[in-house]
Amino acid sequence: MPEELRGPADFPGSPVLSAAVGRLVAAGRRAGLFFDFDGVLAAIQNDPDAVRPVAGALPALDALSRVVGRVAVVSSRTAEFLRDRLAAVPGLDIHGLYGLEHVDGGGRIAVEPAARPWLAAVGRLAGEAASAFPDIRVEDKRLSVGLHYRLTPHRRQAIEAWAADAQRRTGFVAQAGRMVVELRPPLPMDKGSVVARLAAGLDAAWFFGDDLGDLPAFDELHRRARSGGFAALAVGVGNDAVVEEVRARADVLLTTPAVLVDLLRFLRAQY
């Protein structure tokens, strides 16, 4: 099980964290810090539209972006949503919808060419989901559909069954998350593939995640580390509960997003 870190007092005494910090700092500009958004930089909330970064997260990211070679957010959120919430950090790479879109150098949303043929199908699927479940929040993300049941947890079984059927009928891939099921195009893209591109040419990288969709990013960094010459750290983040698969695959576990901000400040002080 990973070391559980509850606040700044735990950081200096953690052998895993201390070793990882040393390797990251030694890598200089050939280091990367990569983050999920919900549940990591922002606390989980009942209303997805109300989510904002936790206090202190944006200044901490901005400070680290000045000394670390690459700082990025890789999320299931749309790139537009992330761009609006993270505008205070100009040096940030933003990748939305598991890498299906990103914010380009001019601040525009760029869609991966392979995803464009799926735009119309996503709209149709969102309409089907809204008709099937008028009592839940169906989120049309343009390139994926989210079925949120945080406020109606008794609907989980029916939603998961509907999503499995939609996957068989349409070819979309169902991705379970924290009180949500997402349906996205069957393209060879996930957070692991995005992190593989982001980490190319780096000597060290960390990924901060809290949910099932973050596990491919953890796995990619661990794969790179096993190949040699690369220092990785998979950082799990807890919220109202800890996803057990995240706990099992993380190297260290932060209890809340607020503790993550404490860690970012601690890390910046090492430079």
Looking at the annotation, which residues are catalytic?
36
What is the spatial distance between Cα 20 and Cα 4, in angstroms, rounded to a whole number? 15
- Contact present, 194 and 207 (Cβ < 8 Å): no
Q: Return d(Cα 25, Cα 18) in angstroms, integer.
A: 11
Q: How far is CA 177 from the centre of its chain?
A: 11
CB 213 within 8 A of CB 183: no
Which two tokens mark 269?
A: 């002080």
User: Is 40 within 8 Å of 73 (Cβ atoms)?
Assistant: no
Return the axis-axis angle of helices 57-65 and 257-268, rounded to nearest 10°.
30
Name the one residue in this structure whose structure tokens are 């069954």. 161
Rounded to the nearest 10 degrees, the angle between the axes of helix 215-226 and helix 191-199 is 40
Task: State how far the alpha carbon of 160 is from the alpha carbons of 123, 143, 146, 165, 181, in Å.
Answer: 19, 19, 12, 9, 7
Pairing of strands 70-74, 31-35: parallel
3-state secondary structure of 205: strand
166-172 contacts, C-beta under 8 A, 24 or more apart: 166/125, 166/128, 166/129, 170/121, 170/125, 172/121, 172/125, 172/145
